[in-house]
Amino acid sequence: MELLPKTVSAEETSQDCFGPDVFISKEDETRYAQRLRPSILPREEDLPLDMTWEEEGKIKARLARLRITYYKALKPECARERELKEPEEYTDVELRKEFYFKRLEEDASFEWFVHPDDTYKAGLNDYQRIAPRNFLPYSGRNLYRYHNEYRSRYHTYKIDAVYVKYYAEISEKIKWITEYLHLERRTKFVNKDTRAWRQALRIATGFPHMTVRLAAFAYNEYILEMDKDASLKDIGLLYFEIWRRVAKKNLSYMEAVKEVYEMDKFDVHKRRLDGELKGVPVIATIKEYMHYVARQGGIDVKTEEDKARDVFRELSVSMHKTMNMAQYAQKKLDLADELKLDKEGGVVPLERPFEF
């Protein structure tokens, strides 16, 4: 006999109120939403646009001094070679002649930049203007899943800090949903998805600055993250097994792929392996990914198998994954500490809708 799902009221806050059998009513979902800050559709006047020449000059000079400070800490020897002075030693006129040292951002080690449009938005503070770099040097790959969307939300330091904590909490408390990701989405998954979302919404009521839309964004990104993890199950071992057959057994690449395809280990990747064998056009082949990991990890035919296995396990997943908004926000929080940015203030723009 199937047990009835446990029903949770809006007043319950116990740790036990999470899981696939915990039911939260539609009425309680509405109550949770009402306890959060309202979600408001965006308007063109989200951010003030008027800025005097004097204000613009001060902002550009301040950002230039941040670039110099960061670069001198990042590459002290290169800074000495460039004969960079201390940031406060430059006059605003000197900074303008140097084009506010925007060229420093071109260094591959520079981990942030300021989008040209954001310099001129008067309502932003420096924390909101600074954005983490979105590409991995020498790979051509983007680091973040929806970088432009994350950047243009213009979260304040406080909102980013809350979002990071909220994402971590739903990742822990509704992790049970990962057991149901394999279900057909149009029918069987819907019930569990609804339960997980309502539990995530209840968690959101315990965080300041949260809105329904922001909570929903975090929840959807979490589901995307778990979906991606499931699709990458044993990907490092897959690459290792192919590499091992080529490097240690002297098989041709296609012979190695065929052997691995016929193994019972990699059901998740059967379609990719089949496509590799048939030469189906893709953006990057398994062979290219495998060689990239080998180069990054310093693997060659003389590498011991145990060491090679560890390298493939460590590097393969990150190569296929882009980072989410929680990771983007955490990077900004780290940069704020490093650059000693003002953590107060900054306009709070109206929320922007986003389609997954």
The proportion of the chain whose per-residue pLDDT surpasses 90, expressed as a percent, equals 71
pTM confidence score:
0.85
Q: Return the sign of the alpha-carbon dihedral for residues 162, 164, 165, 167.
A: positive
CA 354 to CA 356: how far, in whole Å? 7
CA 259 to CA 255: how far, in whole Å? 6
Residues 6+ apart with CB under 8 A from 153: 349, 351, 352
Instruction: Report which DSSP code applies to 21.
Output: T
Half-sphere exposure of 248 (CA within 13 A, CB side): 14
Cα 158 to the chain's mean position, in Å? 18
- pLDDT tens, position by position, 312-327: 999 999 888 899 999 9
- pLDDT tens, position by position, 43-89: 445 666 678 899 999 999 999 999 999 999 999 999 999 999 999 99
Tell me whether residue 290 is exposed, middle or buried, using C-beta atoms within 10 angstroms of its C-beta: 0 to 12, 13 to 18, 19 or more.
Answer: buried
pLDDT of amino acid 44: 44
Q: Phi and psi for 130 in degrees, rounded to 5?
A: -80, 135
pLDDT of amino acid 344: 86
Which position has the higher pLDDT, 71 or 20? 71
- pLDDT tens, position by position, 156-183: 999 999 999 999 999 999 999 999 887 7
pLDDT of amino acid 284: 84
Residues 6+ apart with CB under 8 A from 321: 228, 232
- pLDDT tens, position by position, 240-266: 999 999 999 999 999 999 999 999 889
pLDDT of amino acid 189: 83
For residue 24, the cross-strand partners are 8
Tell me whether residue 96 is exposed, middle or buried, using C-beta atoms within 10 angstroms of its C-beta: 0 to 12, 13 to 18, 19 or more.
Answer: middle
